[in-house]
């Protein structure tokens, strides 16, 4: 580790220890390319795909959560480990503290319902609208999935169009297909 990297790490740890950090983040490699993981003191707040532009995502977090953002791995070690286990078929679900501060209203209600869709299974946008008590809110379910700040961890990729089509996905349709294909092999 270079001296500059050591200084950055020390700064991040001191800021966290003194309660001066709004968001910690780190980058991890995955079969979908690099992912940005971000967390607040309350839990994981964001998973972002490279195609979103990590600088853009960090700017958005600064505007919505707080400007004190530093690269800091420790609070995201469990998330990184669990994602690696998921991608290597050793995990079907995530056991992480989550911070849902980036969502509200019906979007949040839908996103809170997503983890109930079992690994390897899918539902339609219409079925999810029915399950959340708003059968006419099919488009709103689509919007909630499209704006899910915690993709993969909160499995919006398991929601499909009524005709079986993939629909959209924040990480791209190819990423959605990879995740659905991955889940055809049971964890073990």
d(CA 107, CA 23): 22
101 in active site: no
Catalytic residue from among 156, 159, 160, 175: 156
Residue owning tokens 């079907």:
92
DSSP-assigned letter for residue 186? P
d(CA 128, CA 37): 26
d(CA 169, CA 108): 17
- Give the closest residue to 47 by CA, choosing from 157, 148, 143: 148
The residue ranges of DSSP E strands in the chain, in sequence order, are: 23-28, 35-40, 43-49, 69-71, 123-124, 159-160
Q: Catalogue the active-site residues.
A: 156
């Amino acid at each position: 580790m270079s001296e500059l990297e050591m200084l950055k790490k020390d700064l991040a740890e001191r800021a966290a220890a003194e309660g001066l950090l709004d968001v910690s983040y780190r980058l991890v490699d995955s079969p979908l390319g690099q992912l940005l993981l971000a967390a607040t003191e309350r839990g994981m707040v964001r998973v972002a795909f490279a195609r979103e532009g990590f600088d853009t995502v960090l700017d958005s977090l600064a505007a919505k959560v707080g400007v004190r953002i530093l690269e800091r791995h420790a609070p995201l070690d469990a998330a990184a480990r669990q994602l690696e286990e998921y991608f290597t078929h050793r995990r079907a679900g995530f056991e992480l503290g989550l911070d849902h501060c980036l969502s509200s209203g019906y979007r949040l209600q839908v996103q809170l319902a997503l983890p109930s869709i079992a690994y390897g299974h899918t539902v339609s946008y219409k079925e999810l609208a029915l399950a959340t008590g708003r059968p006419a809110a099919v488009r709103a379910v689509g919007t909630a999935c499209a704006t899910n700040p915690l993709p993969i961890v909160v499995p919006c990729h398991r929601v499909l169009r009524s005709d079986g089509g993939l629909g959209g996905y924040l990480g791209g349709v190819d990423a959605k297909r990879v995740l659905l294909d991955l889940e055809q092999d049971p964890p073990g």
